[in-house]
Amino acid sequence: MKKTLMALGLACASLLALPALAQSAAPAGLYQALGEKAGIDRLVDDFVNRAVKDPRIGAHFKDTKPAALKESLADQFCQLSGGPCKYEGADMKSAHADMQINKGHFHALVEVLQSAMDAQGIPFAQQNRLLALLAPMHRDVITVK
């Protein structure tokens, strides 16, 4: 039930409020709520380990170096959440252009991230705050309609 509510909340947020949110600063205190850099590193480590093993999306990571992906995602999550990191990786459209990602893959990835956040003890409200910052990226990540 919690996952269904979170997925519904993510969908609603991305449709209604996220263009404005994406242009504004990260929600106050999110970086701290995620455990700062060390907490984000633990989250991303867990998330990537789960994603590469997930039967729905694992194949998308077969040519990816997990350590490099973890470093890049940690910087991205850190910057988005208001931390001092600077994401210097590729833009989402370029990074995912040839990956044949559909809505089902994207939703599976969100579920994997939610599971990792649950396992890391990140409170539900903070999970939603991070997901709200990531949701606008779906336009560039989903490459197959």
Is 138 marked as a binding-site residue?
no
CA–CA distances in Å: residue 44 to residues 11, 19, 34, 67, 69: 22, 25, 11, 10, 9
Degrees to nearest 5, angle at CA 111 with 47 and 102: 105
DSSP conformational letter for 53: H
Long-range CB contacts (< 8 A, 24+ apart) of 3-8?
Answer: 3/111, 3/114, 6/114, 6/124, 6/127, 6/128, 6/131, 7/107, 7/110, 7/111
> Which residues contribute to the annotated binding site for heme?
96
> Which residues contribute to the annotated binding site?
96
